[in-house]
A and B are shown apart, each in its own frame.
Chain A
Amino acid sequence: MIRIPCPFCGPRNSTEFAHVGEAGARPDVTTVTRQEWRTYLYVHDNPLGWVNETWFHRAGCRRYLEAERHTGTNQVRWARPIGWRDNEHEPPVNPGAPADSATATADTDPAGGA
């Protein structure tokens, strides 16, 4: 049984998740050639080793997660919300955002802390 450390729900069995696939960029559909599109559709790396892939926690928080898994042992190193940046656990670098700092002012970008 694969255990996936969901950042919202804790470690859960893989039966709660749907495997979405190798994480990869989708070509721009307005400029892609037929060959590129078929390569994107059909050809996969299918490696034996550590892969970054997308899982959907369908019976849990229903969030899409990116996880690093070894395809030989099925060990999962980590899972995090998709699109997560490495520095995101730190406060956003926005000096104007409302924070516990006393220097915050009301007229700065309101989206900064969202």
Chain B
Amino acid sequence: MPPSETSVSSEPVPTAGRSTRRGSRPPRYSALDLFRKGLNHADWPRSFHRHDLKRSYDAVIVGAGVHGLACAYYLAANHGITDVAVIDKSYIGGGGSGRNTAIVRSNYLTPEGVRFYDRSVVLYQDLSATLNYNVMFSQRGHLTLAHTDASLRTMSWRAEVNKLQGIDSEVIDAAEVGRIVPRLDVSSHARYPILGALYHPPGGIIRHDAVNWGYARAADHLGVQIHQDTELLGITTASGRVTGVRTSRGDVATPIVVNCTAGWSTLVSDMVGVKMPLITHPLQAAVTEPVKVFLPVVIVSGSLHVYVSQTDRGELVFGASVDPYPSYSMRGSLEFTESLAGHILELIPSIASLKVLRQWAGLCDMTPDYSPIMGVTPVEGFLVDVGWGTYGFKAGPVSGEAMAELVATGKVPPIIANFDLARFADGRLVGEKGAASVGH
């Protein structure tokens, strides 16, 4: 537990590792509550609170995105460890967790990948009830289009791996694709004719902000402290193990630091001298003005480098492949919008007059094998949950659950055992490039 010389805290706070949960239960959101508050215009209670930074914590989680918040929530909920700080240099869900295109699916390529992401889908299915927060998970189905024989072959492979793991996933022909999405151009004279698709009915979209806020609210009510505007400046170590962190709001003693950042994970790992096999690329996305709902599923086209879904409000949300150079810049670019528009009109010619409302970019830490890096590092007490590339958001719940178990028990859970950092030195790569939505 924390080093004794710095763990003295003047604040009257519970410092025990397995402290009891906060006495007051969080106010439950319900239809009746909504009705009551609508009648008397009462204020809603705060969802999460500001705290002073304590001098020591049992664990410090870096990054208040879905991974960090889920890890904190499951630490408190599953393991009773509530003396936890989640620190973020910006605001809750301000990074990749609020910039992704909110697609959830589990039709991956490797058995370990499929099992892992399917656990996430299962957790997402119950998340609204678990967190008492409507995350608007809509399992509307997920179509990955095949325009070439090679991609049909990969999709057949994925479908078989998926079925073996009990995942609903199958290859369908172009006529069936046309029946599911009448607006798609499934004719044979298209520039890239649709030959078939991998159909994954449990896939869908979710409201990513609600997931972040829901985890933050639930973790906060269990006693976890979320510190926004608190930048990590350094990690202190002594004889190969973590002793604390330096932040823009003061120093904190802690035996465990969990790196749950995206984009900045190389820089955070560099603070303790752990070299990461990562390259950071921006990934851009865009959203159009809202129109009447016409797109019943999520559509992905690898050959055309585009994926699109329609929100409940009617906006089309587009994503594409990562920018073709490493960068930490989160600015959008015109060439992205231009190529995106060209590609999406190949698929759905009827939306030619739709206007793009806004575009943005998030940072993706790409690993050599497109699988994440989770688990222990050569520095004792420094744990990583990084390298998510373009798969990070959909894995939030399962990675939080697994990392919480690792923090609490000190043992690597089997579901993430293959995603360790040492696999690169040992040559045990988990190749998930074939399951990427688009060719990155």
Contacts and interface: CB of A to CB of B under 8 A. Distances in A.
B334 A1 contact: yes
Interface in A10-37: 13-15, 18-19, 34-35
Interface stretch (B5-13, B77-85, B127-135, B272-280): B272-280
Interface residues of A, number: 22
Interface in B392-438: 424-425, 427
A42 interface: yes
A14 B325 contact: yes
Given A13-B335, A74-B327, A46 B276 contact: yes
Given A1-B333, A42-B424, A19 B279 contact: no
A18 B329 contact: no
B277 A42 contact: yes
B267 interface: yes
B280 A42 contact: no
Contacts of A91: none
A73 B328 CA distance: 8
A72 B329 contact: yes
Interface of B, helix, strand, loop or mixed by DSSP: loop
B326 interface: yes
Interface size bracket, B side: 20 to 34
A15 to B, nearest CB: 5
Contacts of A15: 335
Nearest to A49: B328
Contacts of B276: 43, 46
A14 B327 CA distance: 13
In the complex, which of the residues B267, B324, B325, B333 has the most CB atoms of chain A within 10 Å of its own CB atom?
B325
A64 to B, nearest CB: 15
Nearest to B263: A48
A19 B326 CA distance: 9
Nearest to B266: A46
B234 interface: no
B279 A71 contact: no
A89 interface: no
A44 B365 CA distance: 11
B425 A38 contact: yes
Contact of A46 (B326, B331, B368): B326
A42 B387 CA distance: 13
A71 B329 contact: yes
A102 interface: no
Contacts of B328: 48, 71-72
A93 interface: no
A75 to B, nearest CB: 10
Contacts of A19: 324-326
A72 B330 CA distance: 9
A59 interface: no
Contacts of A18: 324
A2 interface: yes
Given A19-B324, A42-B277, 13 more contacts: A1-B335, A2-B325, A14-B325, A34-B427, A39-B275, A43-B275, A44-B278, A46-B279, A48-B267, A71-B280, A71-B327, A72-B327, A74-B329
Interface of B: 266-267, 275-280, 324-329, 331, 333-335, 368, 424-425, 427
Interface of A: 1-2, 13-15, 18-19, 34-35, 38-39, 41-44, 46-48, 71-74
8 contacts: A14-B325, A19-B324, A19-B326, A42-B277, A47-B266, A71-B327, A72-B328, A72-B329
List 5 tightest A-B contacts by C-beta distance, closest first. A42-B277, A19-B325, A46-B266, A42-B424, A72-B328
